[in-house]
Structure 1
């Protein structure tokens, strides 16, 4: 009998966000089964999911972005484990983006094109680590969590890139102070195809100044997980939510520092140039070369690449022509690929054009509620307000005047419709509850959702080259 859920190790696979597990799990797991593939199911901590005490708190107790799916850590894990057992699918349940961030809203801004506005003090970091322990404890209480992606991007000191050469040494001494780093990295001389990894003293100091605090806290998060989870689990390091494409030397530094600190990294996610919910439109040749370098560096530490921001401009766009094939070739097929918001986007599109008037009317209610909320956020400069939101709202209103109401494919609706699941009425998440109710009560709607989610999952698995990987898992279990 297949043991599931389980730790997949370094098995290449697709990992999928299950924002509304009651609605999405059937189609996702059937898609996995159709392609004889093992896969991951996940939610992002701090933003998509949260401990039950956050989910059950009254409106306004926490930011609307924290646990914004309305799905608790305990619930998504338990539902995923039960459904995987029912269908006999090898599944790894993951805690995605276990993040150090002062604000879930700042975390969301990083992925909607805005900028985080809070710089974390040491005291704030300690408070966040306490919250992370709560998250991990709830996950561990299910005894079905097998993977953790750790994200300390918010602690990267991007100002180090702008520091003058004269200032670097002083700041390195004051803020890092680990002189052993110089001997360690000045001795590096690695040839990787057309790239030679070699550091000079200023580079070591500047990179350490930029990344050292982030790596230190990453190790602390791993220790928290290790204390709370007494069984074998996997670890991914996420450094993708940064303003710039990852420098190869910085990737080398991150992997060397984490592995030497005893963090057993399975996957690492650099910023490869992907944008959330957008097709990749850059040069495929440049993408190949970049990914090839990252893959070669990661291989030095027995680590595989993970690709975040895997959703494209539309649910079935596959990130753009040739993209999946390019990363398959550059990595030799040894990688992990993550998608999440695309399934909710697909759901909104299905509801907008569904034959059932009940379904369409509820979509229109969702649309109106989301738009009204965002307009109010801009008007009062609420917690989600920033220049990006204001600009996208203005553009959305302009397009609506030309194309009519209920536009599901504008950047505003695609990037901000996530708030729908956390909007409250009389204390209840009426939109989330309404979607689940429709799914359970409208057979044709359920059938269309299951069919399209299954089709999307199958297409992703096939396009990424993960078909049949369940055989690898069976040999290793």
Structure 2
């Protein structure tokens, strides 16, 4: 195993995908290898530009050019090379050197007096390649297209099965997706900075970056995988749950994540932490007026806001009209959060410089002291929110309300599934009439019956996010194919869960009790609830020096594991998509 140093981080990038912002980490080696390639290899790449994506890959000296990557642009042929050590590089073959890609590693003579130029597959070059050379290979804003949001905690391990499902089912997905809890900034790893800790309702403290991947690296590796895939896919890249926190840092820290995700196509802004939940429990007119006056001190603006939201609005066969008390309470809950969204939108818009993107407002989560079912989003609340978004001119394309969906369990609201379906349908109607798409987060633990409820209530026009359940699926395949490693993973998860239980984390205590009562504390199983919910901690664990402890082991499994994983992942993703969209299955 080769080890490379990147600042204070020491890794073998081949067994640590989705960390670096490049697929080329040894430039001298790549230049040296390409210098020795025969002209016939480059001739074959040129020939592939007139063929099909599924034609065989040109190969020479253990270096392959992915036929699916070959594209013509401005009279030049471009392609992506892959080397025996898993590095990648772009090649350009043409009469003139173009200025689309940068940081050339080698310029040499090619076939028919053409130039051959080798470039690194940096995030910047991947973005340029997918925006200007081979547009259908890159992530893009998909607008109101129904899709899955697929959290990829195991990145390279799960993408082949996911992409195969997307192609066979002919559906769209944000197949590059993880949250701020799951991803690092690359600078955090390079500088050896300890991980920050977030608090997740019922799950206790969660270290940021627990997958070991980075925002920059996940984009880079995900696009590399899509370029290699032998078909075109409709996919996006979601920088998920970009949290806006209370305190002195406020939106400034969020901007750092946005900078790292500058090439993503979808941004989920999570303002749950800065909402004023207490405002909706206020019922006196005096307090409602106080919210209005404190949040909107300008009298002219306050009058304008009241006039705008007091207008009668149709809701199917019914009409809804907010009174001043309701408006005051909603202003109290959302005003400062929407101010933050407005600033972040302006920041993203400047950064993207005219490039299309999707923007989501997430209010689905709640802080530890607030119960999920105390903050379910009502039709009146959503109506205020979408109208205020429209009044401010914010280009929100997606909205994730609090449906009452919880992590770890199927829907268990006291209203029952019938009323739940009716409520989802009403929220969908409000959002769709404002040209927004609803997004259901934490859909992992919902039963097939509940998923199908979402399809009926929204007529399949839904954005549906999953993530932890796919890590559990990896655990099941590891248990089956790599049992020795699974025992290690299970024991390490048990250790972590016990630590959380000692801190008083309710879900950790409950899930451990289930194993104790079943008499299975010495019987490792991927079916144990504690393993399903807390197995995330082992993957990206770092030592006191900031080095990964276990991560390379998760990317060093056998070919038998890969074959099984691809098939199982494809089956699961097709099942979820089928419950939601009725995808077209093409085998």
Structure 1 length as normaliser, TM-score? 0.83
Q: What residue in structure 2 maps to residue 117 of structure 1?
A: none
Q: What residue in structure 1 maps to residue 242 of structure 2?
A: 98
Q: What residue in structure 1 maps to residue 339 of structure 2?
A: 216
Q: What residue in structure 2 maps to residue 173 of structure 1?
A: 293
Q: What residue in structure 2 maps to residue 251 of structure 1?
A: 382
Q: What residue in structure 1 maps to residue 362 of structure 2?
A: 238
User: Any conservation in 1 of the 2:152–2:178 contact (CA below 8 Å)?
Assistant: no
User: Any conservation in 2 of the 1:274–1:280 contact (CA below 8 Å)?
Assistant: yes
User: Any conservation in 1 of the 2:501–2:509 contact (CA below 8 Å)?
Assistant: no
User: Any conservation in 2 of the 1:277–1:310 contact (CA below 8 Å)?
Assistant: no
Cα deviation, residue 342, structure 1: 1.1
Q: CA deviation digits over 1:282-307, x for unaligned, max 9?
A: 53321221111101111231112111
State whether structure 2 residue 376 is matched by structure 1 residue 376.
Answer: no
C-alpha distance in 2 between matches for 1:365 and 1:339:
26
Q: Residue 150 of structure 1: which of 241, 248, 269 is its match?
A: 269
Higher relative contact order (CA 8 A, sep 6+): 1
C-alpha distance in 2 between matches for 1:469 and 1:447:
21
Q: What residue in structure 2 maps to residue 106 of structure 1?
A: none
C-alpha distance in 1 between matches for 2:582 and 2:439:
14
Q: What residue in structure 1 maps to residue 62 of structure 2?
A: none
Q: In the TM superposition, what are the counterparts of 1:283-294 in structure 2 within 5 Å? A: 283-294=416-427
Q: Secondary structure at the match of 2:452?
A: helix
Greater mean alpha carbon deviation, residues 400-409 or residues 45-54: 400-409
* Distance change (3 Å), C-alpha of 1:389 and 1:281: closer
Q: In the TM superposition, what are the counterparts of 1:30-45 in structure 2 within 5 Å? A: 30-45=164-179
Please identify which structure carries the higher helix content. Answer: 1
Q: What residue in structure 2 maps to residue 279 of structure 1?
A: 410
Cα deviation, residue 86, structure 1: 1.8
Q: What residue in structure 2 maps to residue 458 of structure 1?
A: 574
Q: CA deviation digits over 1:155-180, x for unaligned, max 9?
A: 11111123351433224322443523
Q: Secondary structure at the match of 2:376?
A: coil
Q: What residue in structure 1 maps to residue 16 of structure 2?
A: none
C-alpha distance in 2 between matches for 1:171 and 1:263:
23
Cα deviation, residue 60, structure 1: 3.4
Cα deviation, residue 208, structure 1: 0.8
Cα deviation, residue 196, structure 1: 3.1
State whether structure 2 residue 543 is matched by structure 1 residue 429.
Answer: no
Q: What residue in structure 1 maps to residue 157 of structure 2?
A: 23
Q: What residue in structure 2 maps to residue 161 of structure 1?
A: 280
Cα deviation, residue 466, structure 1: 5.0
Q: In the TM superposition, what are the counterparts of 1:239-388 in structure 2 within 5 Å? A: 239-242=363-366, 243=372, 244-281=375-412, 283-312=416-445, 319-352=446-479, 354=480, 356=481, 359-379=482-502, 385-388=503-506
C-alpha distance in 2 between matches for 1:374 and 1:323:
29
State whether structure 2 residue 78 is matched by structure 1 residue 78.
Answer: no
Larger Rg: 2
Matched positions, count: 426
Q: CA deviation digits over 1:255-305, x for unaligned, max 9?
A: 122232222122211112222242235533212211111011112311121
Q: What residue in structure 2 maps to residue 205 of structure 1?
A: 328
Q: CA deviation digits over 1:50-75, x for unaligned, max 9?
A: 21012344373533621111001111
State whether structure 2 residue 260 is matched by structure 1 residue 138.
Answer: yes
**Gap runs ≥5 in structure 2:** 1-133, 198-205, 367-371
C-alpha distance in 1 between matches for 2:139 and 2:291:
47
C-alpha distance in 2 between matches for 1:191 and 1:404:
59
Question: RMSD between aligned alpha carbons?
Answer: 2.4
Q: What residue in structure 2 maps to residue 10 of structure 1?
A: 144
Please identify which structure carries the higher strand content. Answer: 2
Cα deviation, residue 253, structure 1: 1.7
Q: Residue 399 of structure 1: which of 504, 514, 517 is its match?
A: 517
Cα deviation, residue 429, structure 1: 2.5
C-alpha distance in 1 between matches for 2:336 and 2:185:
26
Structure 2 length as normaliser, TM-score? 0.68
C-alpha distance in 2 between matches for 1:387 and 1:277:
14
* Distance change (3 Å), C-alpha of 1:252 and 1:469: farther
**Gap runs ≥5 in structure 1:** 102-119, 313-318, 380-384, 471-477
C-alpha distance in 1 between matches for 2:296 and 2:524:
52
Q: What residue in structure 1 maps to residue 210 of structure 2?
A: 68
Q: Secondary structure at the match of 2:294?
A: helix
Q: What residue in structure 2 maps to residue 124 of structure 1?
A: 249
User: Any conservation in 2 of the 1:281–1:320 contact (CA below 8 Å)?
Assistant: no
Q: CA deviation digits over 1:27-81, x for unaligned, max 9?
A: 1101111112222123333211121012344373533621111001111111111
